[in-house]
Amino acid sequence: MIYNRKAYKRGSNSITMAERARSTVHVEYELIKYIGTRIGLDDLMHQMIPEGDTVAEKRFRTGAENICRYLENMADRRKHRLPKNHSDYRGKE
C-alpha cells in the first residue's frame, strides 16, 4: 500500500513502514516472505481437486507443503546477508 509516498507493509498486528531496499538480497528476502504469507491457494486448490478426490487432495497438500518449505529455506539462506538492523538478521554461522 502506498500512502504519502512511503511504502507500508502489514506486520502481525499493525502496519509498519517497509524498510528501504538495502541490497538485492534484502529485496529477495522480503519478496520471498511476502509471497509466502500473501498468496492464497484456495482457488488453485478448488481447480485441482475434484469433489471427494482424496488422492488429489493429498497430492496438492504435499506439493504445497514442499513449496512452503522451499520458500522458507530460500529466505533462511539470505538472513545472514540482511542489513544488520533488520529484525530477522542472523549472523553467518
Sign of CA dihedral 89, 81, 39, 10: positive
Q: Return the pLDDT at 6.
A: 42
| Distance (Å, whole) CA 93 – CA 15 | 32
Phi then psi dihedrals of residue 83, to 5 deg: -60, 145
The per-residue pLDDT string of the chain (93 residues; one tens digit each, 9 = 90 and over) reads 333 334 445 555 444 456 789 999 999 999 999 998 888 999 999 999 999 999 999 999 999 999 999 999 999 999 999 999 999 999 887
